[in-house]
Amino acid sequence: MASLSQPEFFYLVLIGSGGMLLLVVGIATFITLYQKRILQEQERKRLLELEFQQKMIQTQLDTQEKDSIRIAADLHDSLGSLLWGAKLNAAFMGRSFEMEGEVKESYDALVDILDQSIHAVKRIAWELTPEAFHHSGLSQSLATLCARFNGKGLRVEFNEAGESFLWNDNRALSVYRIIQELVSNTIKHSEASRLEVDLFWTPGILFVKVSDNGKGFILTEKRGGVGWWNINHRSKQLKALIEIGDIPMGQGSEISLRIPLQHAK
């Protein structure tokens, strides 16, 4: 093979290194491009997943709400009415026969049981879904809620301040559900004797404080429950800020919510 002259050698080096450079640049570009697309794709997938998750949660919450309404309506219309029918028949019997002694006692007990059952049905149905929430609005429904739990060794107080208004949309219902969950948590676990629900309305933001004098949040809470799932996701949806704190020395707990009002008034 012939040896190379200097210019030939020069071109050789030029072409060789040029080609090499081109290849390296090509590879680098390709990989960079690829990585970028991968990242974009991952981001897209993440967003999709997030959206999907949000939708799932929304559906779940909606289903819960619908189920509550359905069950409450069923309780009222079937069980309630049937118990009422039983009571009417009992009343008829009471008026038709003169009863004495144990028979009378048993009959009275029967009527009493029927009464209690009817009231239990009404109570359960009401707890499932507050009747006429959309008519009464948040404040009114909360006042009723607190009034219902008041008594039996527990004082439940409801206070509100600021410019309140009839807030009755689905977001309001979510707020109601959160507070209902907090209140029933307190009643179930905290051994408190006082419970306070405070609303403070400001333009654009509603502040909620649920406080009690029980054994404190940290001691009472198993945070994994369905109740907490609900509270968390509902506040997330409301874009609400939830703050959970124990009052020092086991003097109860205090949970604050800061809920943006989307269209105040």
Partner 1 sequence: MDLPIIISHFSSGSVLVPLGIFIFKRFRIVKDLAPLIVLLIVSLLCDLSSFIIIRYSVNTYPLVNFYLFTQFSVFYYLFFNYLKRAAILKWIFIFFCGFYTVNISFFQGPFQFNSVTNVFASIILMALSLYYLFTLLKELPTATIHRLPILWISFAALGYYGGNFFLFLFSNYLTKSIDGSLAILWVLHNILNVIKNILFAIGLWQAYHNPNSSI
Partner 2 sequence: MQNKLKIFIADDHTVVRKGMSRLLKTFKRVVEVQEASNGKELIQLIGKEQPDAVILDVEMPVMGGLDAARYLLEHFPDVKILVLTMHTEDVFISRLMDLGVHGFLSKASGPEEVENALYAIVDKDFYKNNLVDNALHNLKKQPLDPTLEKLSHREVEVLVLICQEHTPGEISARLNISEKTFFNHRSSIIAKTAVRNNIGLYKFALQHGFLA
Window of 20-28, 98-106, 121-129, 159-167 that interacts with partner 1 by CB under 8 A: 20-28
Q: Which of partner 1, partner 2, none has residue 136 at its interface (CB below 5 to 8 Å by kind)?
A: partner 2
42 is written with which tokens? 């991952």
DSSP string, 143-202: HHHHHHH-BTTBEEEEEEEE------SHHHHHHHHHHHHHHHHIIIII--SEEEEEEEEE
Q: Measured between alpha carbons, how far is residue 64 from residues 59, 68, 119, 128 in Å?
A: 8, 6, 24, 10
Query: Of 41 and 62, which CB lies nearer to partner 1 in the complex structure?
Result: 41
State the residue for tokens 């959309």.
134
Burial of 172 (0-12, 13-18, 19+ CB in 10 A): buried
- What CA–CA distance (Å, rounded) separates 219 from 192? 12
Q: Which of partner 1, partner 2, none has residue 19 at its interface (CB below 5 to 8 Å by kind)?
A: partner 1
Query: Of 95 and 265, which CB lies nearer to partner 2 in the complex structure?
Result: 95
Query: Of 17 and 251, which CB lies nearer to partner 1 in the complex structure?
Result: 17
In the complex, least distance from residue 44 CB atom to partner 1, rounded to whole angstroms: 11
Residues 31-70: x where in contact with partner 1 by CB under 8 A, - otherwise, as a string: x-xxx-xx--xx----------------------------
In the complex, least distance from residue 26 CB atom to partner 1, rounded to whole angstroms: 7
In the complex, least distance from residue 9 CB atom to partner 1, rounded to whole angstroms: 7
Query: Of 27 and 103, which CB lies nearer to partner 1 in the complex structure?
Result: 27
In the complex, least distance from residue 192 CB atom to partner 1, rounded to whole angstroms: 52
Q: Which of partner 2, partner 1, none has residue 27 at its interface (CB below 5 to 8 Å by kind)?
A: partner 1
Q: Which of partner 2, partner 1, none has residue 103 at its interface (CB below 5 to 8 Å by kind)?
A: none
Contacts of 252 (CB under 8 A, 6+ apart): 190, 192, 194, 211, 212, 213, 214, 215, 216, 246
What is the chain's percent helix, strand, coil content, to nearest 5?
Answer: 65, 15, 20
246 is written with which tokens? 């124990």
Q: In this chain, which of 30, 52, 92, 97 binds partner 1, going by CB under 8 A?
A: 30
Query: Strand 155-162 to strand 205-212: parallel, antiparallel, or no bridges (unpaired)?
Result: unpaired
Q: Measured between alpha carbons, how far is residue 199 from residues 139, 179, 262, 263 in Å?
A: 8, 11, 17, 17
User: Contact between 27 and partner 1 (CB under 8 A)?
Assistant: yes
Rule CB under 8 A: which residues touch partner 1?
A: 1-5, 8-9, 11-12, 15-16, 19-20, 23, 26-27, 30-31, 33-35, 37-38, 41-42
